Amino acid sequence: MAPGDSSMAKKISGPRILTANLLGDGLVVFLGTDGSWAPGLESARLAHSNDDVAQLEAVGGEAARANHIVDPYLIEVEDTGSSLLPIEMRERMRARGPSVNLEFNSRSNGHALVADQAVAG
């Protein structure tokens, strides 16, 4: 069971969004308002009510069954008006990526030469 699964059953207290990892490269994605799964949470689709939550859960379940994503679950966010901020530290880290190894992690896989230059230079 995914770490956030249990929160699905709870009564909703703050807005939620749906997150998962892509099956192929494992990268973190969020369900957007347009129904696509994207890395940033800026355009994530918000759930404010139990009905919204049920809908998101259904979409997540469907995408997991279609083997597009893995382990979908809802996370609580704070809607500041200008941005969405996950409440839990873990989810904030998932949303923004590692805070270290930036010279490597800003690139995609298979670009090692650049990495070596970054360190050697």
In one letter, which amino acid is 95? A
Measured CA to CA, the distance from residue 32 to residue 24 in angstroms comes to 19
- Binding-site ranges for other proteins (CB under 8 A): 3, 21, 23-28, 64-67, 70-71, 87-90, 92-94, 97-101, 104-105, 107-116, 119-120
End-to-end CA distance of the chain: 44
Give the shortest CB-119-to-other proteins separation in angstroms.
5
- Nearer Cβ to other proteins (8/28): 28
- Nearer Cβ to other proteins (48/90): 90
As beta bridge partners, residue 70 has 21
